[in-house]
Amino acid sequence: MSEISPAALRGAVDLSSLRGRSTRPAAAASTAAPGIVDVVVDATDESFGQILELSRTVPVVVDLWAEWCGPCKQLSPIIEKVTRELGGRVLLAKVDVDANPQLAQGFRAQSIPMVVALIAGQPVPMFTGAVPETQVREVFAQLLQLAAQNGVTGTLPLGDGAAEPTEAPEEPPMPPLHAEAFAAIEAGDYAAAIVAYEKALAENPRDEEAIAGLGQVRLLDRVQGLDLQEARAAAAAAPLDVPAQFAVADLDLAGGHVDDAFGRLLDLFQALPSDERPPVRERLVELFGLIGASDPRVITARNRLSSLLF
């Protein structure tokens, strides 16, 4: 990414429904955000109005993530590290898309990780997918330049309660095949990442990180290039078309709408003749593994699938 521009997100992000949630007017840099005690905060559907107003004082970086998202776990620590090094010149707002569906919908997060900045309430695209630290630093520098051009040059007065900038703990090295897969994801070569994770699983079928990574990268590969509106129109026109329903379910899951994805596939499974059901069951099982067996949404969907099977 060599340049960031608000125009790139024009029409792609709708924050209008969140603007009314602010409980206070925009403040000057010297008095901003008395309740903010760290440069990294968890944003929710309810609290986002205040964070949106803070973007008139400092750039706000919004990191949309989910617990099941492997690439998110690689990118988020890098973004947090770079944010802390800037000493209050940038606020990082972390959004769990599963817990905050209104924000996920407002940002139209068709896949995650998705990182968007806000300058004076206006969205600016940063990243979609995992990127290396060098690129993160380059784009943060561009973000500060763009903020300055728009008069957003404040610093958050974090006070005594602020967390001091610290060196990020050293991460243990990734297994070679995991590292190979992640490098392929960074390069946008999802096919190569799939091969690497499959090799890792051939060596150790119980490698949970490889299982989760494989499911995630397969999902990314499937949704790459899909248009949500076109996919929904095709699915609505052909309710029993398995590939069309799969496409919308994948987009829903990638955007954090887990229950919608499961419900669509379960409805499809129920409506199909018995001899056409196996691919739908296989896709459901794959997505269950991606979200996690202990997740309440998976438990509910698995129970319904069992009732349809027997």
C-alpha 217/C-alpha 215 separation (Å) is 6
Per-residue model confidence as pLDDT tens digits over 8-31: 343 344 455 454 444 333 333 333
Which strands make up the sheet holding 122-128, listed edge to edge? 40-42, 91-96, 60-65, 114-119, 122-128
- Catalytic one of 18, 36, 52, 72: 72
- Catalytic one of 43, 60, 69, 78: 69
pLDDT at 209 (0 to 100): 81
Where residue 243 falls among pLDDT bands split at 50, 70, 90?
very high
Where residue 84 falls among pLDDT bands split at 50, 70, 90?
very high
C-alpha 295/C-alpha 111 separation (Å) is 20
Tokens of 135: 């690129």
Active-site annotation holds for 32: no
Are 7 and 101 within 8 A, CB to CB? no
**Residues near 61 by beta carbon (within 8 Å), at least 6 away in sequence:** 79, 83, 90, 91, 92, 93, 115, 116, 117, 126, 140, 143
Where residue 32 falls among pLDDT bands split at 50, 70, 90?
very low
Domains located in the chain, CATH noted: 6-149 (3.40.30.10), 176-309 (1.25.40)
pLDDT at 165 (0 to 100): 47
The secondary structure of 20-67 as a DSSP string is TT-SS----TTT--TT--SSEEE--TTTHHHHHHHTTTS-EEEEEE-T
Strands (E) in the chain, as ranges, are: 40-42, 60-65, 91-96, 114-119, 122-128
3-class DSSP assignment, residue 242: helix
Tokens of 126: 């940063």
pTM: 0.53
Q: How far is CA 81 from CA 62, 74, 208, 231, 275, in A?
A: 14, 12, 26, 37, 52
DSSP code at position 130: -
Range in 74-78, 220-224, 244-248, 288-292 with the lowest mean pLDDT: 288-292
Are 126 and 139 within 8 A, CB to CB? yes
Q: What's the mean pLDDT in 117-122? A: 88
Where residue 35 falls among pLDDT bands split at 50, 70, 90?
low
What is the DSSP pairing of strand 40-42 with strand 91-96? parallel
pLDDT at 24 (0 to 100): 37
pLDDT at 25 (0 to 100): 35
Active-site annotation holds for 69: yes
